[in-house]
Amino acid sequence: MKPTFELLKRDTTSGARLGKLTTPHGTIDTPVFMPVGTQGTVKGLVPERVKELGAKIILGNTYHLYLRPGHELIRDFGGLHRFMNWDGPILTDSGGFQIYSLATLRKLEEEGATFQSHIDGSTHFIGPEKCIEIQEAIGSDIMMCLDECLPYPATRDYAEKSLGMTTRWAKRCKDARKSDNQALFGISQGGMYGELRERGIAELTTIGFDGYALGGLSVGEPKELMWETVGKSAPLLPEEKPRYLMGVGTPEDIVECVYCGIDMFDCVMPTRNARNGMLFTNGRKIAIRNAHYRDDESPLDSECDCYTCKNYSRAYLRHLFIAREILAIVLNTIHNVRHFIRLMEKIREAIKNDDYENFRRDFKSKNSDVDTD
């Protein structure tokens, strides 16, 4: 069964969309947030808990799974679903961003990327064909093309040359594909140059993919520039295909970019912030280590329906975090992941009711900066 996408509704007050993405491992209502399970695990949570929190799809990473434990081993176990005991859909990132982040440890050429492992320094090569081979062995429901993620800032000349290579890599990825039951998404690059983004999207559309992603964003550029780039690029993507904004972002980013027409999001923020004691609530972010929560009997978020908020006080959560107990990470992660999933539920309901413009305005008025007390 090849994944399919159905566009169900367009919000009349914005570019927001409702859709249904059907895969061999389940159906996903969009807009959707995908918790990141880089190495075959959403950090701090067993797969059953991830499902209980309402997550319909998770993300794994080709680069990390290739290095450890190895895609051949995962294939021998019957794929990542069986290996990690997750029966829902999985999207795998191509590893392009991780290779980009290696900086001095990698070399990019037309054939692909040569890089040193961040684990043991060993030398490896991944080109478009190898990227697809790895993802087919992993058995993800959605594969991503290999691309070059640009730094910010990047000169126009560099961005243009990189875009050309990314487009050629995309064509090679499609040609290398053998699996009929895995979707393949192309990735738009071009930096912050609108005309390059437009050209790249047109070229990707000509090649033809099952979905399209905007990459190379949230790499250090001002937030307003990111929103502007998404706002101009998203409408250029094929309307009948899912639109994925890679590595973004904060609840504020998600609300703004759904408004522009984006359907899919992922970010490490919910789990990473949980491990650092930064917790999302309806209105502000809470630094749970702060002293004034020492005797606070209230739940973390009175509006949240997660296990953490139903059973534990802010005082207890602070105690666990200060004491460096493992349970602090677990309870914090449960809450943060559920917060993002609940946000997507609210977003879909607003679009269904043709009320997304009001939802967006109310969200902006209620959400403030981090708790600094």
User: For residue 368, is pLDDT > 80?
Assistant: no
Question: What is the spatial distance between Cα 205 and Cα 189, in angstroms, rounded to a whole number?
Answer: 13
Block residue for tokens 């139903």: 310
Q: What is the pLDDT of residue 40?
A: 97
Q: How far apart are the first and last CA of the chain?
A: 53
pLDDT above 90 coverage of the chain, percent: 90
User: For residue 373, is pLDDT > 70?
Assistant: no
Tens-digit pLDDT profile for residues 113-132? 999 998 999 999 999 999 99
**For 159, phi and psi rounded to 5 degrees?**
-60, -40
Would you please indicate which residues are annotated as catalytic (active-site) residues? 93, 266
- Per the confidence metrics, is the pTM higher than 0.95? yes
**285, amino acid identity:** K
Q: What is the pLDDT of residue 95?
A: 83
Tens-digit pLDDT profile for residues 220-275? 999 999 999 999 999 999 999 999 999 999 999 999 999 999 999 999 999 999 99
189-202 burial: b if 16+ Cβ within 10 Å, else e: bbbbbeebbebbbe
Q: What is the pLDDT of residue 223?
A: 95
Q: Which of 10-14, 54-58, 201-205 has the lowest mean pLDDT?
A: 10-14
Residue-range domains of the chain with CATH: 4-267 (3.20.20.105), 274-362 (no CATH)
Question: What is the spatial distance between Cα 67 and Cα 61, in angstroms, rounded to a whole number?
Answer: 10
For residue 353, the Cα-to-chain-centroid distance in whole angstroms is 26
Q: Name the band, by pLDDT with cuts 50, 70 and 90, for residue 218.
A: very high
User: For residue 22, is pLDDT > 80?
Assistant: yes
